[in-house]
Amino acid sequence: MISLKEIEDNIKSKEWRLENLYYILDVKGQKIKFKPNWAQLYFFNCLHSRNIILKARQLGLTTLACIDALDDCLFTPNFKAGIIAHNREDAHSFFEDKVQFAYDNLPSEVRNANPATTDRAGKLAFANGSSIRVATSFRSGTLQRLHVSEFGKICAKYPAKAKEIITGALNAVHTGMRVDFESTAEGRQGKFFELCQIAENLQISGGTLTDEDFKFFFFPWFKHPGYRINSKGVQFTQEMQDYFSKVESETGVKLDTEQRAWYVKKFNVLGPDMKQEFPSTPKEAFEQTIDGAYFASQFRKIRETGRICSVPIQEGVKVDTYWDLGMNDVMAIWFVQVIGRECRFVDYYENSGEGLAFYARILSEKKQERDLFYGEHYGPHDLNVRELGTGISRFNRAKQLGINFVVVPRVGKKADAIEASRNAFSLCWFDEKHCSV
């Protein structure tokens, strides 16, 4: 417990207040005193009036924003702070678990000196005329502080909301007052990407920051001391070793074995999404994830072991088909024979803009041309969705055309599906001629 005398002696120091007055919930849900970590301290000590933060996940910068804004509201009269979350769930969590929790656990002497009222969900208003609010947007009013969490996600998923933030909420903050945009990356498009590029280029050029310029901050995964595990039993592929060498060359940082082990285990789940969720460089953070990138190393192994070659159709063995049914996109059909433990991809067909009757005809033509003996036809979970206009599901329409689909249930987690596919590639062979695109 902090004594009343200690509070009275130090209460005017913001740094002291941040390190001694506030409590938060840690990753285990336990109440602990807030002590700024390396990323929070660096940002706090180097911040500008406008800041744009490109980062790895779970560095606590939103927590700092909530505590910092709450502190300014408590100790600065008529201070209005706004925090924007990218969805309602996060807005509720930020307010309840960060702002409200920190306020409720302040020493009673501090709370009683500036009591708060809640006149609406997600908002605390104080006796000194200050207030802090967490929401998904701000359309009116003047702010002295604005923090936008996961702005990259907002730009990617809700472009209209992103535009509203730029034209509305940002303009509610007067020049010289603080604005923070922080996020992981979400591809090379949208306002977050544009602002990061402008700010980083200004930083690289050594240009002078005005109150209207954003200062660029980048926090890579390897600077976080918690991102490491015991390396015992962790397999380092040549692909991973090459990647770590590239990172060390580009950043000048020496990665230890425990850091490498942590990255490998994360990569095994996230695949290429690691680059946006836990980037090593700003450039890497904004690299687009292409579909085939999830299985790049597996296909490299397939090529190295000669499993893209001539794969003849085995007589008397059923050929199963696997469909990716699109509406306006590409329709893809794989033709597969399972022989022993091997999955032999003997043919492939794709097209777009055609109905099921067209693909039924393709099946018939393939059967005649290559003397195929069909087994099961596997289709995705959305086959049972009824088409607008006809009211008939694609499953039933296919059945009318003689294609009796086996519906494959949707996998709950995308990461599980990717990992299962990676494991299956070791059993796959591809016919070079008939599976080329």
Q: Sign of dihedral through CA atoms 53, 55, 57, 63?
A: negative
Q: What is the pLDDT of residue 388?
A: 45
Dist CA 283 CA 276 (whole Å): 10
Look at the chain and count its residues.
Answer: 437
Q: What is the pLDDT of residues 95-146, one digit of tens each?
A: 999 999 999 999 999 999 999 987 678 999 999 999 999 998 887 678 999 9
Q: What is the pLDDT of residues 313-348, one digit of tens each?
A: 999 999 999 998 654 457 899 999 999 999 999 999
Question: What residue type is assigned to position 122 of the chain?
Answer: G
Please determine, for residue 210, whether its predicted confidence score (pLDDT) is greater than 60. Answer: yes
- Write down the pTM of the prediction: 0.67
Dist CA 356 CA 235 (whole Å): 45
**Contact predicate 215/50, CB 8 Å:** yes
What domains does the chain contain, in order, with CATH numbers? Answer: 4-219 (3.40.50.300), 223-288 (no CATH), 299-431 (3.30.420.240)
Q: How far is CA 257 from the centre of its chain?
A: 26
Closest to 371 (Cα-Cα) out of 305, 315, 329: 315
Closest to 285 (Cα-Cα) out of 187, 421, 215, 195: 187
Residue 108, classed as helix, strand or coil, is helix
**Contact predicate 86/136, CB 8 Å:** yes
Q: What is the mean pLDDT of residues 165-193?
A: 90
Dist CA 188 CA 205 (whole Å): 21
Q: What is the pLDDT of residues 41-77, one digit of tens each?
A: 999 999 999 999 999 998 999 999 999 999 999 999 9
Question: What residue type is assigned to position 372 of the chain?
Answer: L
Please determine, for residue 423, whether its predicted confidence score (pLDDT) is greater than 60. Answer: yes
Q: Which residue has the higher pLDDT, 305 or 3?
A: 305
Tokens in use for 229?
């595990």
Number of C-beta neighbours around residue 55 at 10 A: 24
Q: What is the pLDDT of residue 119?
A: 63
Looking at residue 62, the DSSP 8-state letter turns out to be H
Dist CA 320 CA 335 (whole Å): 6
Dihedral (C-alpha) 20, 24, 25, 26: value to the nearest 10 degrees? Answer: -50
**Contact predicate 91/136, CB 8 Å:** yes
Dist CA 332 CA 319 (whole Å): 16
Dist CA 437 CA 434 (whole Å): 9
Closest to 121 (Cα-Cα) out of 154, 85, 157: 85
Question: What residue type is assigned to position 402 of the chain?
Answer: G
390 pLDDT band (50/70/90 cuts)? low
Dist CA 31 CA 154 (whole Å): 30
**Contact predicate 408/384, CB 8 Å:** no
Pairing mode, strands 80-84 and 143-149: parallel
**Contact predicate 219/54, CB 8 Å:** yes
Q: What is the pLDDT of residues 344-386, one digit of tens each?
A: 999 999 988 788 899 999 999 999 999 999 999 999 888 877 6
DSSP E strands, 203-329: 215-219, 308-309, 319-324
Q: What is the pLDDT of residues 141-170, one digit of tens each?
A: 789 999 999 999 999 888 889 999 998 899
34 pLDDT band (50/70/90 cuts)? very high
Question: What residue type is assigned to position 16 of the chain?
Answer: W
**Contact predicate 66/99, CB 8 Å:** yes
Mean pLDDT of the chain: 90
